[in-house]
Amino acid sequence: MPGRLTAVTGASGFLGRHIVSELARRGDRVRILLRNPAACPPWAECTPEVVEGDLSPASLRRLVAGADVVVHCAGLISATSFAEFDEVNHRGAEAAAQATLAVAPRARFVLVSSLAAREPGLSSYALTKRSGEAKVRALLREDRTLVVRPPAIYGPGDKATLPLFRMAAKAAFAPMIRPLGGRLALIHVEDAAAAIVDLALSDASGIVTLGGDRPEGYEWRELVLALFEAYGRPRPRMVRVPAPVIRAAAALTALVSHVARKPAVFSPGKANELLHRDWSVSARELGPRPQPVRYPLREGLAHTAAWYRDQGWL
């Protein structure tokens, strides 16, 4: 008897690859959307069915036709303009929901969003993620629709957090770049994927936020010390970096990005997110289901650091 068919967008991304692997481990048949299949490394755990295409209506309809579950994970974390963010994070989510409504109206739809969507005024990324959420929830049946908001995700294969690991591996000092008392929830990518799949295969609806091993979050100092500990390094000297310096560095990076026409993760919007005090997750936001945690922070950072070393990224 054929198993459940789950269609996934964003499957070649950092989180998406882990979601595909987790679905395969649960016994799902997985169909994925790839812009360039030849450039995508194969999965060790499975051989998903591939639909070649982008977030166009025709490609998305081919992807979701006959699916029991649709997991829309495609998104941009960096772009050179608001329009680029909006095209993928907002309009892409809308297109995926419309395709599902048209050819798989009984499918369960899961939108992988971001905790940043809780604060849409901070950045183009946050605003377009929030807009995508609103569009999906307006188009699809409430009882078949779930929005999942992960906090900051780290783990093997992540290029966005790699500079922090490089700092911990080599530097004798560390910058204090978050407000005193600010809280930051984090989650290992494997825990994020497992929680998303658990929720996708449940009857949960509405908006559920992932909390990682400590939903109430970590202070920046705790995170930095845990990073240095992952490499067996002594405690670093902490050097406070004022918010205006962080914002000026982000503005300079944005200017270089604009001139080079190449997106940069560190932007004025990302600086706003970094300086925001509260990225903790409340019990109400976590929803009623327990969320699996395989990697508490220190174990997760050590696992990630070992992967970076093994792969020669450091």
Give all strands (DSSP E) within the chain, no chain letters. Answer: 5-9, 29-34, 49-52, 69-72, 108-112, 145-149, 152-154, 173-176, 183-184, 186-188, 206-209, 237-240, 278-279
Q: Where are the domains of the chain?
A: 5-158+183-217+278-295
Q: List Cβ neighbours of 41 (8 Å cut-off, separation of 6 or more).
A: none
CATH tag for 5-158+183-217+278-295 (out of 3.40.50.2300, 3.30.70.580, 3.40.50.720, 3.30.70.270):
3.40.50.720
Instruction: Provide the whole-model pTM.
Output: 0.94
Q: List Cβ neighbours of 300 (8 Å cut-off, separation of 6 or more).
A: 154, 155, 186, 188, 191, 213
Give the pLDDT confidence of 76-104 residue by residue, as tens digits: 999 989 999 999 999 999 999 999 999 99
Q: List Cβ neighbours of 272 (8 Å cut-off, separation of 6 or more).
A: 122, 123
- 8 Å CB contact between 9 and 96: yes
Give the pLDDT confidence of 129-150 residue by residue, as tens digits: 999 999 999 999 999 999 999 9
Give the pLDDT confidence of 262-290 residue by residue, as tens digits: 888 889 999 999 999 999 999 999 988 88
pLDDT band with cut points at 50, 70 and 90 for residue 256: confident
| Mean pLDDT computed over 7-12 | 96
